[in-house]
Each structure stands twice: as C-alpha cells, then as structure tokens.
Amino acid sequence: MPGAKNGNGRVQIRKTYKLYIAGEFVRSESGRAYRFDGSVNVPRGSRKDLRDAVRAARGAVSGWAARTAMNRGQILYRAAEMLDGRRAQFVELLGSGRGAHKEVDEAVEALVWYAGWTDKLAQVIGATNPVAGPYFNFTIPEPTGVVGVVAPGKPALAGLVRRVAPALCAGNAVVVLAPEATPLPALTLAEVLATSDLPAGVANVLSGYRKELLPWLASHMDVNAIDVAGCTPAEVIDIEKAAADNVKRVVKLAPNEMSPYLITAFMEMKTVWHPVGV
C-alpha cells in the first residue's frame, strides 16, 4: 500500500509501468489499468494507443531500413549489453531460480545472434539469377514494413526477444502486444530498447487485454505482417480472417525457433533487372 515502509524504514517506492510508444513511456490514453499479481497496476492500452503505436512505427520504419546493416547490428548488440547489465532485475521478474537465469542468458544470446546476421542477409538470402539476355538479374531481400508481434506468455522474456530481434534485424519496425498473464518482462524490455540507441518508433510495446487490441492489430491497414507466436489456435483463425482483407502476412513459426529463415518471414524478395555494362 502507499506509504508502506521497507526493511530500512524508508518509504517503499513502487514501480509505475507504462506503455512504450514512439520512443516515450506513456500512460494509457484511457487512464485504465489492470491488476497483475495482486499488487502491480499494468497499463491497459486502448485502440487509440494501438493506432498511435502503428503510426509511430510507420513513421520510423523507412529511416531504420535505410541504416546500414552494420549499424543495425551494432544497435542490437547494444540492446544485448543493456539487457545483460540489468540481469538481476529480469531474473527477479522471471521468478528467480536457475530457470530465470537461463532465460535471461537465452534472451541475450538471441540479440547477439541476430545482431550478427544483419550484414549477412543479402549474401545468404539474395541471389544472382541466370537470365537469357544482356542483363543482370538480382534478387534482394527488403523489409516487410510494420510488423505486429503477439508475444508468447512462456518464456516471457526469451520468447519475446526471439520474435522481436529477427524483425528488427530485417529492418522492420514492430508493435508488440505484451502477454496479459506475464506483461512485466515485455514492459521492462522496452526500457532496455529505449537505452540501446534504437530510433524512436522502431519498437513499440503495449500491454492490455488481448481481446480488445488483437482484432484491431490484425485488421489495421498500415500493419504489413503479424507474428502470432503468442496466440491460441482460435485467435490465429480470427487473425487470418481479419488479415485476409488487406493481404497481411501471418507468421506462424514455432515460438522458440531461432533461425535466419525466421528473418526472411519478415522480409520481401525484390527482383531487379540491370543492363550489362551500365
């Protein structure tokens, strides 16, 4: 309760969790919250908060995609450094114990792993295609754009990082829906991203009731893809129906998968013709 004392006789200061939109920590537009774990107030994002997050992501994605692959890798590696530096906080959020330490290790490893892929994608995924004529024909990977990520509830931290990191690695901007049952790792990860040189709007994190936010994320015309790793089978069916109206890509890979081909799930393949000798 407010005014309660800690073991040293000092007034205990409770953490105020906020949404992360456009590089800023904001309260929900509606001012609503829901109670988590009996004592923590978690911001309950609204449709307007979701629209603001998508608008921020759309405004940021072109600048992020235009950065050099090396620079994106440096920023993801910086995120790994910041996450590792706050290890004790995340271990506590994840319930302490050996499993919590292992999950933080896995999250840091995922950020470092995908940071290393940023400058290798064009060589591994792209191709020079044989054609009949005096032309070069190249296939080049490009970012999809704005990606919605429905975060898995377990593992709350490593599962989320393994979905966000490949999307950012590919040059996309993301709008994350934190899991209702375990929102604190996602909201705290936003603080890590905010101190990792990531441009404002490239990553946005919302918490709230999924039934209120998910339909609008799936049907939003300015969202290019949605990762459904944290969805139930019934939710996936509803998302696919809503996404069909605007030809939105629905990514349905295993929640704990870590692969360079997960990056390609958030990319488009562009074919370019170029005259020989020009």
Q: Tens of pLDDT along 198-242?
A: 999 999 999 999 999 999 999 999 999 999 988 889 999 999 988
Backbone torsion region of residue 171, taken as left when φ is above 0, otherwise alpha when ψ lies between -120 and 50, otherwise beta: left
Contact 48, 41 (CB under 8 A): no
Residue 60 scores a pLDDT above 70: yes
Which residue has better confidence, 174 or 271? 174
Residues 155-161 have a mean pLDDT of 92
Question: Quick one: pLDDT at residue 275?
Answer: 79
Give the global pTM. Answer: 0.88
Question: Quick one: pLDDT at residue 246?
Answer: 81
In terms of Cβ atoms closer than 10 Å to its own Cβ (0-12, 13-18, 19+), residue 135 is: middle
In terms of Cβ atoms closer than 10 Å to its own Cβ (0-12, 13-18, 19+), residue 60 is: buried
Please provide the CATH number assigned to the domain covering 19-275: 3.40.605.10
Average pLDDT, the chain: 88
Residue 1 scores a pLDDT above 60: no
Q: Domain map of the chain by residue range?
A: 19-275
Question: Quick one: pLDDT at residue 108?
Answer: 96
Strand partners, 148: 175, 226
Residue 6 scores a pLDDT above 60: no
